[in-house]
Amino acid sequence: MSHNEARKESLMKRYGRQSSNIGGKGGFRGPRGRMGFGKPKNARKTIGRLFRYIGKDYRLVIIVLIFTLIASVSSLLGSYRLRPIINNLVNKDYTVEQKIHNLLLGIIVIAVIYLVGVVSTYFQQRIMISVSQNALIKIRKDLFTKMQKLPLRYHDTHTHGDLMSRFTNDLDAVGDMLNNTLPQVFSGIITFFGTIILMYTMNWLLATIIIVTIPFFAYVGNLIGKTSRKYYLEQQRSLGALNGYIEESISGQKVIKVFNHEGTTIEEFNILSDDLRHTQRKAQFFGGIMGPVMGNLSQVSYAITATVGGILVLFGKLDLGALQVFVQNSRHFSRPINELSQQMNIIFAALAGAERVFEVMDEEAEVQGSENAIEISSPYEPKFNTRVIKGEVVLKNVTFGYLPDKVVLKNINVTAKPGQKIAFVGSTGAGKTTITNLINRFYEIEQGKITIDGINIKDIKKDALRRNIAMVLQDTHLFSGTVKENIRYGRLDATDEEVIEAAKIACAHSFIERLPNGYDTVLEGDGANLSQGERQLLNIARAAISKAPILILDEATSSVDTRTEKLIEKGMDQLMKNRTTFVIAHRLSTVRNADKIIVLEQGQIIEEGTHEELLALGGRYYELYTGLVELD
């Protein structure tokens, strides 16, 4: 294997099969889905589910089938009407005037027949598009709704690109089939059998000769189609790898330039681009020769039909008009076979895409809670007929692993009194973020229990639980919209005054005021027009506006500089006042005033106490704080 071939194989492995991350920096890595067009696993079941969506407009579907039937019959009837016109022209019993009259009358009749076919095709297309779009809207809505209800574990094990492909590639394939393929398949079947019946009514011998060629046409078409599908699959794989490489290269331009790898990047792009060119050339060649090959084969059938038909005419066994209809049908007889063969590729692609969509819909949604799950509310915003919580959080003998054979937390016991600040420190992968994920019930624990004010969180409705826990994550995410709307995302009914107050608490007010339109400045591209520190300040303001009595800060100040960190410490103290707060921090200076500091290593608590108590202990925390060992 040459050097370039080895590099190509390496690139195809990297970008044709990607992976995702779960459980924070040190978690499980699982397979990433990849869009592919193959045969569906269970076509019958998938077709049934698709037809249930289409069936909601069954009256329109029936009308579509009627119009398709009319259009197909009009095409057959228009072709058959050539028979009396030609026979009229060669009939010696008619005068020239009669022949001209009959010719004009025949042309008018054919024109009317074809006009009816054109009008029927128009209405069939218009109505079918309406039916298909209604079905797609319902499928897309159900898919998006289900996506919102899936547990975080599912999103962690499926990348954004894989999930997005369900809404784009997969549903586009389904839309193509619903818009065009179903009517064309129905029309092709009618045309195929209608042509056979029409020919047998005129002459059984010629009809049989044409029918005998069908298996040969089908064999050749299937052979070309199988080869074409093979190369189209390779083309899709190459295209996916190239697109993945382009996407990663564009998003990583800064790193590429820092390490001066522009030349290497261009070389790798050229390797993937050449591979795509190679597979595209084969795919397009075999896809393009289907028509010419089948067209030339139909010419053979045409020649046989014309020869035998001519002999029958000479012996008076067939009229000239019927011969014309036969040779015309023999030339175009392969068309419905070709169309049906080509539509099968589209159908398989659509069913494979629909299966991927239904796979998501069939995933188990998040369980809101037990049958007797209760509502809870915050003391800052108590709600009628709900349990108002103070914010005591207790983890008792909690053991958890993202995978059954890999335990992340081992027998964790933590008690946070209302209003206390609890800090978690430890190495990467020690389990700090996992604890906060369990408090939010992003994952369900296997052993032990977590309670809030003595209530097992499994007995609290999940949406009520999360309304009473505010989080500031290390990775910020801002939505397209104004600064004001992004802060208000923490509590949608907050007033403008509360938005400004939250920004002041987070020390974000001053920089917001300097923006072109202040709080009405529109943020795009996840806040690309802001610095990383400014984006995190908005993230903190979003939590500040919440009325949640429990606050989780997952390395909330890791993205701000030391000066900004100093500025927000005072505001954070005000934010944490009277709230139970869990803090994860790499900078130990930010947790010195915590009521309790818990040191985690390999999923176990090895030390806990106040800042002074842990320093006096002279253990792991002392080594981390004094710099004897580094916090990785």
Strand arrangement of the beta sheet that strand 580-584 belongs to: 469-472, 550-554, 580-584, 421-426, 596-601, 604-609
Q: Is 610 or 527 the better-scoring residue by pLDDT?
A: 610
For the segment 443-451, the average pLDDT, to the nearest whole number, is: 89
Average pLDDT, the chain: 81
Residue 560 pLDDT: 62
3-state SS of 235-250? Answer: HHHHHHHHHHHHHHHH
On the question of pLDDT at 36 being above 70, the answer is no
On the question of pLDDT at 42 being above 60, the answer is yes
pLDDT per residue over 175-186, tens digit each? 888 887 778 888
Q: How confident is the model at residue 33 (pLDDT cuts 50, 70, 90)?
A: very low
- Sole residue written with tokens 């992976």: 19
Q: How confident is the model at residue 34 (pLDDT cuts 50, 70, 90)?
A: very low
Which neighbouring-strand residues pair with 406? Answer: 403
On the question of pLDDT at 32 being above 90, the answer is no
Residue 27 pLDDT: 35
On the question of pLDDT at 39 being above 70, the answer is no
The answer to whether 220 touches 293, Cβ cutoff 8 Å, is yes
* SS3 assignment, position 422: strand
Element (H, E) at 438: helix 432-439
Percent of the chain with pLDDT over 70: 85
On the question of pLDDT at 78 being above 70, the answer is yes
For the segment 349-371, the average pLDDT, to the nearest whole number, is: 81
Of 32-36, 385-389, 483-487, 599-603, minimum mean pLDDT range: 32-36
Beta 455-456 vs 447-452: how paired, if at all?
antiparallel
Q: How confident is the model at residue 556 (pLDDT cuts 50, 70, 90)?
A: low
pLDDT per residue over 144-154, tens digit each? 999 888 888 88
Residue 363 pLDDT: 87
DSSP string, 135-199: HHHHHHHHHHHHHHHS-HHHHHTS-HHHHHHIIIIIHHHHHHIIIIIHHHHHHHHHHHHHHHHHH
pLDDT per residue over 379-400, tens digit each? 877 887 888 988 999 999 999 9
Q: What angle do CA 315, 317, 323 make, to 5 degrees?
A: 105
Domains and CATH numbers, the chain: 8-17+37-361 (1.20.1560.10), 476-547 (3.40.50.300)
Of 52-56, 338-342, 430-434, minimum mean pLDDT range: 338-342
Prediction pTM value: 0.71
Beta 447-452 vs 393-400: how paired, if at all?
antiparallel
